[in-house]
Structure 1
Amino acid sequence: MPQPIRAAFGRPQNLPGMVVEEIAADAGSPLSLPFEGSRFSVPPGATSVRDEHAVAEIWLIRSGTGTVVSSDTSTEVGPGDALYYPPWVPHQVTNTGSGPLEVFSLWWTADA
């Protein structure tokens, strides 16, 4: 029976408007993950980096509130929300709350 692959978040990176930690398979694993991922935190009043790329992506909102702008559409988000972005759709979030906006992000090639 296949065993789960242990993954962990790496060293935080400070980017404009957010702190990002990327996920990777445990160094001892002979397998690789079929996706990539990160978690990031956007401080109150800050806006994340505008993102647009060749991979599909999903954001899972863990805590906080914000406004996501994707293409030309604005959406209010909060804990428990999930957002899907097809490849090449621009997206970013502004934290509209009083605490950190925490997001988990997973991405993969669209043909995977």
Structure 2
Amino acid sequence: MSTPQSGLQPPWNMLDRPSGAKLGIVDLPATFTLARIHVPVGVTTAEDHHEVREVWLVQSGTGVLALDGVKQRISAGDTLFYDSFHRHQLHNDGTEPVDIISIWWQP
């Protein structure tokens, strides 16, 4: 993702994940958390499930999402919602990184 010149870009603190993906988190006011997920080509994220509800805004790339064991294709422009405790895992089988904006909150 490119950084806007306006200075309105959140201060992403990108963390390396064991899978090879990167995760940047920004705490938002109130109960929302904003994160940036970067999944390089060929990387499969660790399966995730949690109490929080989550929305993914897919910014770039393509891949295969396993949601509760059911696989589906995702690509740039998709918006995905995960309710509490639903298992999700992404495999980037495309030709470019998958970049996702994630927002999560307590139910």
Aligned to 1:103: 100
Aligned to 2:63: 66
User: What is the percentage of aligned positions where both structures have the same residue?
Assistant: 29
CA distance 1:99–1:7, shift in 2 (3 Å): closer
C-alpha displacement of 1:7: 7.7
Do the aligned partners of 1:59 and 1:106 also contact (CA within 8 Å) in 2?
yes
Give the count of matched residue pairs.
99
Aligned to 2:25: 22
Do the aligned partners of 1:10 and 1:24 also contact (CA within 8 Å) in 2?
no
CA distance 1:101–1:7, shift in 2 (3 Å): closer
Equivalent residue in structure 1 for 2:78, among 71, 81, 86? 81
> Where does the alignment leave 5 or more consecutive residues of structure 1 unmatched?
1-5, 26-31
TM-score in terms of structure 2 length: 0.85
User: Alignment partner of 2:10: what SS?
Assistant: strand
Do the aligned partners of 2:31 and 2:106 also contact (CA within 8 Å) in 1?
no
Mapped to 2, the partners of 1:71 and 1:102 lie a distance apart of 21
Do the aligned partners of 2:12 and 2:36 also contact (CA within 8 Å) in 1?
no
TM-score in terms of structure 1 length: 0.82
C-alpha displacement of 1:18: 0.4
Select the structure of larger CA radius of gyration. 1
> Where does the alignment leave 5 or more consecutive residues of structure 2 unmatched?
1-7
